[in-house]
Structure 1
């Protein structure tokens, strides 16, 4: 069984072919990563404990922003002679099923069901099914997996669960009206790219912010009406002429989708339309400064001022964590009918593990998800 892993700095001394380990730096911390082989797992389809479970073989996986904190923590705090698997999203093939499994069959291609806050089945925990999506073989309850349509290639499926489930949940909660003006922050982030691709099929006007205009043509091709370059150290975004002009023309944004509340919330709340504006967020940026010991600095309104402004202008702040099974099913249906596009940057395989992580977390030219694909089964 193959595993894409983060390795302790001494583990590389124990590696022999066909295992391989490479070294890179993330946030100034040395990271050892590699392709590690372990023994096969066993799965008895007739065992009572496996009655509702399935054995899957991963075909491809990807890492999200949340995985970056896991990588840094493993590199700094984990035992130096161990290795650790990671990965939030995957696509896999069902290779064995328990005797009571009815939702899946051998040969189905599946992705993880990250449903939250309700669990996929009463005996399960809600949320992302695994933090070890790179393990080639794993066992899951059938409810933690969803079959994907034949139109969906592995590269897209390996990047779909969290983005699809989260984005469809956020847009459902915003309940946007025809003609609404929507601002999407951090336009190049994976969540924002998902959101833009969903919004373009609604009768809304899409605006987006980024620290660079490098990908303006690509974002406009996805449906963005206007990309606005911002300076992240500026606390009052009305200082940007483009934003001020939009707000004066429209009366403010009806909805704001923000993947990083601790970067933007105090800067964007004043951009909402009074008495109807909704701000929704699904994540935070500062997930690893306590590991790197590099201080994180927030810019924008805080605490009392932020909530006083929200209250006085009858605005809504909505928190969102993942989404329901129905949200992910809706995303899959829209992909199958051509209504949802997923932006894939690049695909790596074999011993290209270092290159996979470098492209995922380092390369300023990355646009979309980076995928690692397992070569054909050994």
Structure 2
């Protein structure tokens, strides 16, 4: 018999199954990020703006459909919506794999994003867990997404060297098909579920809380910076430093490993000191510094590696810390509405960041880093001045 403070057997199985399901899909989305802009530049009719759009368009369609699909799962069932989402994602991956033009890839990526299942997966977590264990289960899923992100950056360049970009999209489709099998074999949907839907007045309440708005803006900027950086950085590595795309894993593997050494202590101190907004503001300032230094010191692989350690350390800290803060501030009653706004901001940021990078790199690659630095500094100032209670 499990204690009230620990996950029971059903919750452990559900947490693992749902985490694997979402991680397989997210790994596929992240897989192309380290090398896509290098490939896209070779496509007919490709322009910097279209390259940025192709990388980030999934964020726009995910942002538009995340909440509607979550609400639809209240009426039609979680597994049905998850199945539709995964099939849509597979369709988009196949279209992108078969495309030989930038327009075709944009269409495929947009359809990938339409398979927006994250909110439905989180709703399924709520269905199968006790309220006091829900945060642990969601943390497990968050960790799985973080691992998928790091694994994609290490394996993406290797797989690109072996199979090309079309091969990466086929691998993405295959992983989504595997997730579909796993959904129907291992994931159990309870007969009764907790409505994910939230009343309009609850959503309005979250818009009145300056702390929640500040976190929404921060995650928007965080993901805008992420996609912007990886529109332009692979091109700098290839064109300026003559560092082949298929070898980029040799950079990302040690960088990610070292960044973990810094970001884990930050998480521990963040929870121990309970200076939540001060730590987030500090991390955003560190992120801004990493962007300025990337703009100035991008002529050496060693210097870029050092800047990436700083970037990934603060990025991973913010990815872990901010959702926990939002959950704590919103409380049980408003958590669904708050998470809906947060997720939408996150995906919109991914779209805006890559689009902005595509526009700015028409002028110069370094202008992208200055642009992202300005965004992060504004976000840090907002976090500093927001009321803490």
TM-score, structure 1 as length reference: 0.25
User: In terms of Rg, which structure is larger?
Assistant: 1
Structure with the bigger percentage of strand? 1
TM-score, structure 2 as length reference: 0.24
